[in-house]
Amino acid sequence: MIELFGVKKFFGAVKAVDGLSFTIERGQVFGLLGKNGAGKTTTIKMLTLQLKPTDGAIFFDGRPISGNEIFIKNLIGLVPQHINFDQDLTVEENLQLHARLHHLKNRRERIDELLNFVELEKVRNSFIRELSGGMKRRLLIVRALLHRPKILFLDEPTVALDPQVRRKIWSLIKNLKAQSITIVLTTHYIEEAEILCDRAAILNRGKLVALDTTENLCAHKSLEEKFLELA
Angstrom distance (rounded) from CA 155 to CA 38: 13
- pLDDT tens, residue by residue, 150-161: 999 999 998 878
**What domains can be seen in the chain, in order of their start residue?**
2-229 (3.40.50.300)
What does the pLDDT average to over 172-188?
92
pLDDT at residue 11, rounded to an integer? 96
| β-pair partners for 9 | 17
DSSP states along 162-228: -HHHHHHHHHHHHHHHHTT-EEEEEES-HHHHHHH-SEEEEEETTEEEEEEEHHHHHHHS-HHHHHH
Angstrom distance (rounded) from CA 201 to CA 157: 17
**How many residues belong to the chain?**
231
Share of the chain above pLDDT 90, in %: 75
Mean pLDDT of the chain: 91
- pLDDT tens, residue by residue, 106-144: 999 999 999 999 999 999 999 999 999 999 999 999 999
Name the band, by pLDDT with cuts 50, 70 and 90, for residue 208.
Answer: very high
How far CA 56 is from CA of 6, 70, 177, 210, in Å, comes to 5, 20, 29, 19
